A and B are shown apart, each in its own frame.
Chain A
Amino acid sequence: MLTAAASTDLNTVEYVVFGVIAASMAIAAIRVVTAKNIVHAALYLVVVLAGVAALYVMLAAEFIAVVQVLVYIGAIVVLLLFGTMLTRAPIGTTSDLDNEQRGVSLVVSLFLLGVLGWTLTKAFGWSHMPETPVQRTADVGNSIFQSFVIPFEVVSILLLAALVGAVVIARRD
């Protein structure tokens, strides 16, 4: 899939790589929501986000992989860590990070996972990905500035509004 080669060898390699990424992402994701230390949770989040970036590379979406690393790992995680510091959250290990509806939450999410898994297997079964050529960044750019130029402008206004809103909400009067 990365290249035009369709040999079974490469497929096996691909599955092994995917399996490693998926396993580490799954473990890290579970640790994000169960860790007893906020900073650890944030670091596990970095692992998940990096895994997502790796998935993008496997899906031949290089530009988004780069954006994922830059925006998520570079900016959003740092922002979350800042939030942790500014709110003087308990940095060390503490058992007081979960509320009392853990059981309900577990049931709800497992049920959701069951529904999603059942639906996906029924809908897509064993359908294969087609051979996708690597998406060129230029195509992404052309597409944004031709077909999606208005949504793009709307997003820019949204970002501006979020910027102003964040300043207004957080400033001390």
Chain B
Amino acid sequence: MFFLRNAWIIPAIPVASFWVILLFGKRLPKKGSEVGVAALAIAFALSCLTFGAWIARDAKPAAEVVAATAPATAAGPGHVEGGEGAGGAHELPSETHHAEELRPAVDRNLFTWFEMGGTKVEFGTHIDGLAVTLLFVVTLISLLVHIFSTAYMKGDRRYTHFFASLSLFTSGMLILVTARTTLQMILGWEIMGLCSFMLIGHWWEEKPNSDAALKAFFTTRTGDVGLLVGVSILFFGAGRTFDAATINAAALSGRMPHWVLLMGATALFVAVIGKSAQFPLHTWLPDAMAGPTPVSALIHAATMVVAGVYLVARMYGVFWKAFSITAPGHAGFNPVAIVGGLTILIAAALAFVQNDIKKVLAYSTVSQLGYMVMGLGVGAWMGAVFHIFTHAFFKASLFLGAGSVSHGGSHHSFDMKKDMGGLKKHMPITFWTFAVSSVALAGIPILAGFWSKDEILLGAGKNGYTVFLVVGLMGAMMTAAYMTRCVYLTFFGEARGNAAHHHPHESPPAITGPLVVLAFLSVVAGLLNAPGITLFGKWNLNEVLVTAGVPEHTFNYGYAAVSTLIAATGIVIGGLWYFRNLGPHGITQRVKPLHAGYVFLDNKYYLDVLYTDGVVGSIKGPIARGAYWVNQNVLDGVVNGVGIAARRVAQFVYDVIDQQVVDGAVNGAGFTAESGGSLLRVFQTGRVQNYAAIMFGVAALSALGLAVLVTK
């Protein structure tokens, strides 16, 4: 209980480490890296203890826990009716059998952050299964990344600052994870945004790197507007409260109008699209590869992009109600699932045409994040959270593996086609860990990725989202195939470029150690929720899921067989294509439509062009051109038309009326205009103070007139 109540210490440690490294790092014998590693080691140990305390926590019957928290959550101002009645009206699909037991969340207020307009905003922690899981994952991955970085970043000119930023980055995610209020979430969210900017642009002397940092910052910032708007809407909608649990309860109780929830959830989802790199704002994530490789691993596996998914999982009551996820008559489509599904396919297709190993992995992350978002969208909450958990291990392993390859094998190049190949015999540890993680990612049974992906697909299938089941299966096949391509190009075949000329060698233990740990976890982590064990599901069950009635499905051998078969097919196709050189190679060069498709993919669907030229350009160019066109065609036409008409009338008048009279009048008019103009010209001096004098004089006169009129 001590650890659960004092979980705030875990985010506090990296914050302290950030300051220590920043202030004293350069004077320390190892330039501050030892502080970072030690801090994260302590944080990881505390996370493990917290995890243990959570598991040891007494589970109570679910109904009892929900009933016990209902009055507490109903204490918000202006709320009288209980939270249960309307929630129960939600019709549950078949097969809802939650574990009968639930560990109640541990809430604690640390201090009053500030008071604003009579609303007290507390700073506190909310520890439940989700928070504990994420604490474990984040501190573990961050610790390994710190260790990896001590070797990988050796000799870097901003070594100390790099470690300071890493610590702060980690603390941002930990603050988000332990947050009790939505405002704390914003705090953590923004810390991560700042740190991702600093870390992606770590080597900012080169223009592409600083461009990539700016792009990441601005793209996620576009989404962050949604976060602010969504938090504000939910603050007022739920009765002036930032407390996440209260907001969820209010949403599920049915006392918030549906349109308020819909607006709030949509705004939050915009933030998720930005942060978790969902289509169409995914373009920043592959560019973020400009940062050092450990940063990529941290961003992709444990922090930053996971934050968006975490936000949906944390505020699931809101999303559940707003998008009517499994309500009868609504199931089948909703924005969350659609965005997730689109992202899976779009990113997986892009992964095929990348030559940079890190970009393959980046698109793979985008695609896997699509799985998580889709899982949340189709009502497979547990599957999505489980996928966060397992994905963290194998994706961190893959990224660190790529870093190891560039460190020892390809002489700092990431180009698979130019500088890699045949590295298997030189870097056995890297190869085996990379291969194991790839298979885990592809979703082959026993390994981690299989279990979590299968849960998401099962949820999609059973909750009536058949289309998304198909999308998920297609994505699984593509994943398996592009990972096969990636492994082949990196480790098999002829050694090319740097791999051939620079004596590839295995990386030092500080690099291979984390790889082995992560690869081991990629193998076993999935077993936590295997049939017959399902510990993960029991640990992570929370009040929101029970109140909402989120369905849970037991492991289904049919689904598992199909998804395994499909993943295996993907591997076989990739294997035949690359290892056996079968299939129509070079077809994209020969067949025109396919070549067009390749170019289309190679240019990433022209989304970047759309954003820079389309969005930004449309504000500059076309409006100016449009104005010019209106000027040339419309205005000139009108002027010409008026002129022609005037000439005809004049001809008519000339013929009919006596010229002498007209002449006299015309001359008189001309004289009047000229003298009037020269008179007015006196006032138009171009001096602003003359104009001001006239303005004040006339204003005073008008005021006088008005006052006289009113007093009459």
Touch between A and B in complex, CB under 8 Å?
yes
Q: In the complex, what's the smallest C-beta–C-beta distance from A127 to chain B, in angstroms? A: 16
- Alpha-carbon distance between A111 and B700 when the two chains are bound, in angstroms: 7
5 closest residue pairs by CB, A with B: A145-B117, A146-B117, A112-B700, A119-B707, A108-B697
Q: Is the CB of A108 within 8 A of B689?
A: no
B690 touches A (CB below 8 Å): yes
Q: Is the CB of A142 within 8 A of B117?
A: yes
B117 proximity list for chain A (CB < 8 A): 142, 145-146, 149
A101 proximity list for chain B (CB < 8 A): 689-690, 693
Q: Is the CB of A142 within 8 A of B693?
A: no
For B116, give the chain A residue with the smallest CB separation.
Answer: A145
A119 proximity list for chain B (CB < 8 A): 703, 707
- Alpha-carbon distance between A149 and B116 when the two chains are bound, in angstroms: 10
Of residues 409 through 429 on chain B, the ones whose CB sits less than 8 Å from some CB of chain A are: none
A105 proximity list for chain B (CB < 8 A): 693
Q: In the complex, what's the smallest C-beta–C-beta distance from A51 to chain B, in angstroms? A: 24
Residue B118 contacts which of A115, A116, A122, A146 (CB distance < 8 angstroms)? Answer: A146
Given A119-B703, A119-B707, A142-B118, the answer on whether A111 and B693 have CB atoms closer than 8 Å is no
Q: How large is the interface on A (under 10, 10 to 19, 20 to 34, 35 or more residues)?
A: 10 to 19
Q: Is the CB of A112 within 8 A of B118?
A: no
Q: In the complex, what's the smallest C-beta–C-beta distance from B278 to chain A, in angstroms? A: 28
B683-712 contact mask (Cβ, 8 Å, vs A): 1 or 0 = 000000110010011011001100100010
Q: In the complex, what's the smallest C-beta–C-beta distance from B589 to chain A, in angstroms? A: 47
A108 proximity list for chain B (CB < 8 A): 693, 696-697, 700
A100-114 contact mask (Cβ, 8 Å, vs B): 1 or 0 = 010011001101100
Q: In the complex, what's the smallest C-beta–C-beta distance from B23 to chain A, in angstroms? A: 29
A79-113 contact mask (Cβ, 8 Å, vs B): 1 or 0 = 00000000000000000000101001100110110
- Alpha-carbon distance between A98 and B407 when the two chains are bound, in angstroms: 72
Contacts between chains A and B (CB distance < 8 A), count: 33
Number of residues on chain B facing chain A (CB within 8 A): 14
A145 proximity list for chain B (CB < 8 A): 116-117
A122 proximity list for chain B (CB < 8 A): 707, 711
For B700, give the chain A residue with the smallest CB separation.
Answer: A112
Q: Is the CB of B689 within 8 A of A111?
A: no
For A104, give the chain B residue with the smallest CB separation.
Answer: B693
B118 proximity list for chain A (CB < 8 A): 142, 146
Q: Is the CB of B700 within 8 A of A115?
A: yes
Q: Is the CB of A115 within 8 A of B697?
A: no
Q: 12 interchain pairs (CB within 8 A)?
A: A99-B689, A105-B693, A108-B697, A108-B700, A115-B700, A116-B703, A119-B703, A119-B707, A122-B711, A145-B117, A146-B117, A146-B118
Q: In the complex, what's the smallest C-beta–C-beta distance from B701 to chain A, in angstroms? A: 8
Q: In the complex, what's the smallest C-beta–C-beta distance from A98 to chain B, in angstroms? A: 11
For A122, give the chain B residue with the smallest CB separation.
Answer: B711
- Alpha-carbon distance between A109 and B692 when the two chains are bound, in angstroms: 11
Residue B703 contacts which of A99, A109, A115 (CB distance < 8 angstroms)? Answer: A115
Q: In the complex, what's the smallest C-beta–C-beta distance from A80 to chain B, in angstroms? A: 19
For A147, give the chain B residue with the smallest CB separation.
Answer: B117
Given A112-B700, A145-B116, A145-B117, the answer on whether A118 and B693 have CB atoms closer than 8 Å is no
Of residues 122 through 165 on chain A, the ones whose CB sits less than 8 Å from some CB of chain B are: 122, 142, 145-146, 149
Q: In the complex, what's the smallest C-beta–C-beta distance from B117 to chain A, in angstroms? A: 4
A116 proximity list for chain B (CB < 8 A): 703
A115 proximity list for chain B (CB < 8 A): 700, 703-704, 707
Given pairs A111-B697, A112-B700, 17 additional interface contacts (CB within 8 A): A101-B690, A101-B693, A104-B693, A108-B696, A108-B697, A108-B700, A111-B700, A112-B699, A115-B700, A115-B703, A115-B707, A118-B707, A122-B707, A122-B711, A142-B117, A142-B118, A145-B117
- Alpha-carbon distance between A116 and B701 when the two chains are bound, in angstroms: 11
Q: In the complex, what's the smallest C-beta–C-beta distance from A60 to chain B, in angstroms? A: 23
- Alpha-carbon distance between A101 and B116 when the two chains are bound, in angstroms: 52
- Alpha-carbon distance between A19 and B71 when the two chains are bound, in angstroms: 63
Q: In the complex, what's the smallest C-beta–C-beta distance from A144 to chain B, in angstroms? A: 8
Q: Which of B116, B118, B693, B700 has the most CB of A within 10 A?
A: B700
Of residues 66 through 80 on chain A, the ones whose CB sits less than 8 Å from some CB of chain B are: none
B699 proximity list for chain A (CB < 8 A): 112
Of residues 655 through 699 on chain B, the ones whose CB sits less than 8 Å from some CB of chain A are: 689-690, 693, 696-697, 699
B703 proximity list for chain A (CB < 8 A): 115-116, 119
Q: In the complex, what's the smallest C-beta–C-beta distance from B431 to chain A, in angstroms? A: 52
- Alpha-carbon distance between A104 and B694 when the two chains are bound, in angstroms: 9
Q: In the complex, what's the smallest C-beta–C-beta distance from B539 to chain A, in angstroms? A: 41
Residue B696 contacts which of A99, A112, A142, A146 (CB distance < 8 angstroms)? Answer: A112
- Alpha-carbon distance between A118 and B703 when the two chains are bound, in angstroms: 11
B635-668 contact mask (Cβ, 8 Å, vs A): 1 or 0 = 0000000000000000000000000000000000
- Alpha-carbon distance between A145 and B115 when the two chains are bound, in angstroms: 10
A142 proximity list for chain B (CB < 8 A): 117-118
- Alpha-carbon distance between A166 and B116 when the two chains are bound, in angstroms: 31
- Alpha-carbon distance between A101 and B687 when the two chains are bound, in angstroms: 11
A149 proximity list for chain B (CB < 8 A): 117
Q: In the complex, what's the smallest C-beta–C-beta distance from A34 to chain B, in angstroms? A: 16
For B119, give the chain A residue with the smallest CB separation.
Answer: A145
B704 proximity list for chain A (CB < 8 A): 115
